[in-house]
Amino acid sequence: MATCGIKLLLVLVIISVCSVYSNPNIYGVGLPLSYVYYTKSDWGGVQSTDVRPLKTPVPYVVIHHTYIPGACSTPVECKADMRSMQNYHISMGWGDIGYNFCIGSDGGVYEGRGWDNIGIHAGPANNYSIGICLIGDWRVEEPPEAMLESTKALIETGVLNGKVSSTYKLVGHKQVMATECPGNALFNIISEWPHFSNKFTRIKN
């Protein structure tokens, strides 16, 4: 019986390990939170022409909303939004979508510039932050829970990977520059999160 139990356990371990590695889009496995991840090629993005290495781990995470485009709730809609934002940002001479990552209402995480490249999203904070954009207009309406949970899980992934400092400070875009972003409803939510900082301090670099 004991041998049988051990064999069964071994089979279960092998099955679970295989299922994790057979789906490279599931990140955060082993954490209480996980999310579906779409790379730039998954959403049909073009290659960046602005690749400047980000010094990691970064001390700041900056939260954004898009305002426009509005919320997307399926991968098809969110992928289209990613392409339109990338086109727009490239038309401004930025060489890529400005954000490091974007998140859809269904909790899907979309790769922007990723963990290792400097984004264009928050002026003076670009060189030492990860910019995460929650797709939608979150001035009045609150983002769905799945979107918020993926945001937290994504930041946690960054901490675990050594890309985000374990003592990082979380701020909203409007704390860095004169803007309404990330919208009052979203800002009120992130201001309750553990790493939220009332104060953004410029770092000379």
Complex with Zn ion: residue 157 or 175, whichever CB lies closer = 175
Residue pair 22/74 in contact (Cβ under 8 Å)? The answer is no
Q: How far is the CB of 176 from Zn ion (least distance, A)?
A: 9
Give 132's strand partners: 63, 101
The CA distance from 108 to 78, in Å, is 9
Q: How far is the CB of 120 from Zn ion (least distance, A)?
A: 11
Binding site for Zn ion (CB under 5 A): 64, 173, 181
Complex with Zn ion: residue 163 or 173, whichever CB lies closer = 173
Complex with Zn ion: residue 36 or 133, whichever CB lies closer = 133
The CA distance from 173 to 67, in Å, is 13
Q: Which tokens is 160 given?
A: 């675990």
Which residues contact residue 187 at a Cβ distance below 8 angstroms, ignoring those fewer than 6 apart?
63, 172, 174
Complex with Zn ion: residue 174 or 195, whichever CB lies closer = 174
Q: How far is the CB of 87 from Zn ion (least distance, A)?
A: 18
Complex with Zn ion: residue 109 or 120, whichever CB lies closer = 120
Length of the chain: 205
The CA distance from 42 to 23, in Å, is 14
Residue pair 83/43 in contact (Cβ under 8 Å)? The answer is yes
- Give the number of other Cβ atoms within 10 Å of residue 173's Cβ: 24
Q: How far is the CB of 115 from Zn ion (least distance, A)?
A: 19
Q: How far is the CB of 181 from Zn ion (least distance, A)?
A: 3
- Residue carrying the six token digits 């392409």: 83
Q: How far is the CB of 147 from Zn ion (least distance, A)?
A: 15
Complex with Zn ion: residue 79 or 174, whichever CB lies closer = 174
